[in-house]
A and B are shown apart, each in its own frame.
Chain A
Amino acid sequence: MTRLLAGIVLCWPLLAIPQANTVDVQKVLQRDFHARGQATMDRVVQDGLQRVCTESNDRPPAELAKQLEADQMKTIAFPEGSLIGDWKRGERIAQGGRGLTWNDKPGAPADGSCYNCHQLSPQEMSHGTLGPTLLKFGWMRGNGPEMQRYVYGKIYNAKAYNLCSHMPRLGYSGTLTPEQIKDLVGLLLDPASPVNK
């Protein structure tokens, strides 16, 4: 945390400051928004990387990005053993879009919203394009322990690999459980998964 602050202070002059600065915008959000259901007001308080990414227009200074990515990496607890879960459950998690909004039932299992942005199984035509296609992901990259770890980590906290990625930190934010993330790793890496057929 102190390293984070030091980084921000050091790099402050390098960051492009928008017309209304992020502190002002945060105050506006605190004034003009209200908590509803599980969407509580602490969500409008920016953390370090949200602020750095906003102020740098998603182009943070390389040194600072490296430091903050390392901080994010520390948030990931990798489970022991194989990380390849059940791809069939993974497909359902990838299809669904529930979770964390003010009208989702608090405590109910959430989904990954994966198809909103990514192509995965070729049978699913209705997929988004905000993220890269993941068709044949495991078929092209293999499914050894290193690859399992990378995919698990990327889903758990995408910002550990690319600070200003637009992919949500699905494990870190409490959207998905480690079990669910393993099922998604299965969807991407299991040779039997439709993604790799």
Chain B
Amino acid sequence: MRVAVLLGAVLICAPLAAQDARKEIQKYQQMIAEGSPVELFELEGEALWKKPQGPKGVSLEKCDLGQGPGVLKAAYARLPRYFKDADRVMDLETRLLHCMTTLQGRSREEATKRVFGNENQPSEMEYLSAYIASQSRGVKLAAGHSHPKEKEAYALGKALFFHRAGAWDMSCASCHGEENKRIRMQELPVMSKPQFARPIMATWPAYRVSNSQFKTMQWRINDCYRQMRYPEPNFASDATIALNTFLTVTAAGEPYRGPGTKR
């Protein structure tokens, strides 16, 4: 909260030259990373991972995120990927949902009732994402890009990225298509280019200081489409997984260093 007030002060203390403002924002970003509560989310996620839940009364500890049942090391860095048992490309949240419904016997409806939390009550998906992603620190991003369905997901994600529709005629590239552009003071990474996608994908999911919330990639895509004035993407749908696949493959090779801390 204090840092949010500080950012407010930084912005209000205009007129600063744009260059100075940029430096102030960089300083601020450094500061928030130092005082980030990401670790608390990771701990809460670990407790949830190990907590027996659902009709079957079991934990998620036998969930196979692609590296074998219960193996968390490097699992996040290699998602999204194709899963034979589901015959589908899945990202982290989709796979977690799969384990909740199969291993724990929970209904899809119950497990997706509240996928995006708020500052008072983060969601189960957010806690779990924090914990699981943290187990990939230092591992190079390597989303699946060899199975035909992975290639299909990448191609669809790329097409979605450049597809213009909605009430405001927007595609993802409307904002993330040109270098050195901003919305207000927020710099916009060109997510179709590796040098820009890498640092971004290596730090999601992430804690957001401005609203004190931990956010996942499914949320990021959801909220972009909200701002693009589209209808809402279904949680864990093929479209969202395809976009995530396109972005993560574009960022391939970058060592994962999240969960990150954002403005």
Q: A interface vs B, CB < 8 Å? A: 18-22, 24-26, 28-29, 31-36, 39-41, 43-46, 49-50, 53-54, 57, 100-103, 115-117, 123, 125-130, 159, 166, 168-169, 173-175
Contacts and interface: CB of A to CB of B under 8 A. Distances in A.
Given A101-B227, A103-B226, A46 B15 contact: no
B165 interface: yes
A169 B185 CA distance: 23
Contact of B167 (A19, A24, A103, A173): A173
A25 B168 contact: no
A173 B228 CA distance: 13
A130 B168 contact: no
A19 B156 CA distance: 8
Contacts of A29: 160, 163, 165, 230, 239
A78 B15 CA distance: 38
Given A20-B159, A126-B185, A128-B182, A43 B167 contact: yes
Contact of B230 (A21, A43, A173, A175): A43
A54 B164 contact: yes
Given A19-B155, A126-B185, A26 B165 contact: yes
B229 A50 contact: no
B46 interface: no
A100 B162 contact: no
B231 A28 contact: no
A78 B232 CA distance: 34
Interface string B228-251: 011111100111101000000000
A25 B237 CA distance: 13
A28 B239 contact: yes
B181 interface: yes
B14 interface: yes
Given A46-B165, A125-B14, A166-B170, A39 B229 contact: yes
Given A29-B165, A29-B230, A128-B181, 19 more contacts: A20-B155, A20-B156, A22-B159, A26-B165, A28-B239, A31-B238, A34-B234, A43-B166, A44-B166, A103-B226, A125-B18, A125-B185, A129-B182, A130-B175, A159-B169, A166-B170, A166-B174, A168-B229, A169-B169
A32 B239 CA distance: 6
Given A115-B184, A166-B170, A50 B234 contact: no
Contact of A125 (B21, B162, B168, B231): B21
B232 A36 contact: yes
A125 B165 contact: no
Nearest to B15: A125
Contacts of B18: 125
A175 B230 CA distance: 14
Contact of A25 (B14, B159, B183, B240): B159
A36 B169 CA distance: 18
Interface of B: 11, 14-16, 18, 21, 155-156, 158-160, 162-171, 174-175, 178, 180-185, 188, 225-227, 229-234, 237-240, 242
29 contacts: A20-B156, A25-B159, A26-B163, A26-B165, A28-B156, A29-B160, A29-B165, A29-B239, A31-B237, A31-B238, A32-B233, A32-B238, A32-B240, A33-B225, A34-B232, A35-B231, A39-B167, A50-B165, A54-B163, A102-B226, A103-B226, A115-B184, A125-B16, A126-B184, A128-B183, A129-B181, A130-B175, A166-B169, A168-B168
Nearest to B14: A125
Nearest to A30: B231
Most buried by A among B155, B156, B232, B237: B232
A25 B160 contact: yes
Contact of A39 (B163, B170, B230, B240): B230
Contacts of B233: 32-33
A39 B230 CA distance: 6
Nearest to A26: B165
Contacts of B178: 130
A50 B231 contact: no
Nearest to B241: A32
Nearest 9 A/B pairs, CB to CB:
A168-B168, A32-B237, A32-B239, A20-B159, A19-B155, A36-B232, A125-B14, A33-B231, A128-B183
